[in-house]
Amino acid sequence: MEYGILRFKEPERDTSRKIIHVDMDAFYASVAIRENPALRGQPVIIARHPKENGGRGVVATASYEARKYGVHSAMSAKKALELCPDGVFVPADFDLYRAVSAQIHDIFRRYTDIIQPLSLDEAYLDVTHNKKEIQSGTLIARAILRDIYQELKLTSSAGVSYNKFLAKLASDYKKPAGLTVVPPSKSHEFLMALEIDKFTGVGEKTLEKMHDFDIYTGQDLYDKTELELSKRFGKLGHSLFRRVRGIDDRPVEVERERKSLGKERTFQKDITRDEEVIQFLRYISNEVDATLQAKEMHGKTVVLKVRYRDFETYTRRKTRLNYIENAEEIFSIAYDLWQDIGAAERGVRLLGVTLTNLDPIYFENIPLPLWPQKRTQEDKRD
């Protein structure tokens, strides 16, 4: 009696949606160059010059000219200056970035209200059913990039596909000012050729494990069974098994009421000095504040999260009676918490700052009686 080979049915894809991921190109630096055209073509670094603040400070972003020298976001400004001595340092202007981000979202809303912001400079859009009744997601993406450039004089990149995972990969494929479309018929070919570190969740440590398991490309990943990947990588393995098959059913989530908002930074190389921790705490606090302001929220509790190289993780929180209103207050509280639990010599793998107990910021116009007024008969009856 012959026994056939047991084959498992491939999971099915939902290819009915049209998803766009829009990502602004070097957003903060591009806005600075727009405001000061004399900076065009120069290596612009968004950070205070280290000579102005004793070597402290962190790079928020850098122009593509500066990136050629190896400068990147979250790098210390001092290191950026070493790599790019001719770099032009421009202090961050988060009020301006928030205002420009609001203009970008106004453009998005011409086409759809199903928008999921990821930060000031990127968002997912579901245009399956859109306000313009345009059947092609590609045409809508092209129109959005055109509108942003014509009206705001900024370039952006977009990815178009049938799910969020592929759309985000695609938006990064031809930066800057690129438009990449991954239709269902081309998704397998697109994913097979990708380097494995392009897949969400594959960081530096996981990349080493992938290589140890002879996985270097999407094709190598695809050739592994779900059981093999799950046994070796746990939940991430199960997720990657689906992603490499072009499966991602996550909806584009329109903003709901937020109870907390935070940012985390995982470091490729563990940081071991208090000075570095302070730099990153300040940078992350600025990021949290920028997002809070964009969403017009404020809160009362700061939560600090620290993960060390041995993966031990600690969280501490502090609550104020009044609302915390700006980045400096967030940083000050986070720094106090760090002094309670911090031990940089252990090697810090991750830092996170979160603001909780959030409420919307309401602005009310309340008429105040500045002088006595005559009471009418009707007033007297009340």
Catalytic annotation present for 325 = no
Q: Tell me which residue has tokens 């990147």.
A: 72
Among the listed residues 95, 91, 7, 11, the one whose alpha carbon sits nearest the alpha carbon of residue 48: 91
List alpha helices for the chain, DSSP H.
27-35, 64-67, 77-83, 94-108, 137-152, 164-171, 184-192, 204-212, 218-222, 226-233, 235-243, 274-295, 327-341, 377-381
Sequence-distant (6+) residues with CB within 8 A of 115 are: 105, 108, 109, 123, 124, 125, 252, 254, 255
Candidates 122, 133, 296, 328; catalytic one: 122
CA 97 → CA 50, 103, 172, 324, distances in Å?
22, 10, 21, 21
Among the listed residues 202, 246, 210, the one whose alpha carbon sits nearest the alpha carbon of residue 229: 210
Burial class (CB in 10 A: 0-12, 13-18, 19+), 360: exposed
- What is the C-alpha radius of gyration for the chain, rounded to an integer number of angstroms? 24
Contact by Cβ (8 Å): 137, 127: yes
Helix axes 184-192, 164-171, angle to 10 degrees: 60
Instruction: Check residue 45 and report its DSSP letter.
Output: E
Active site residues: 122
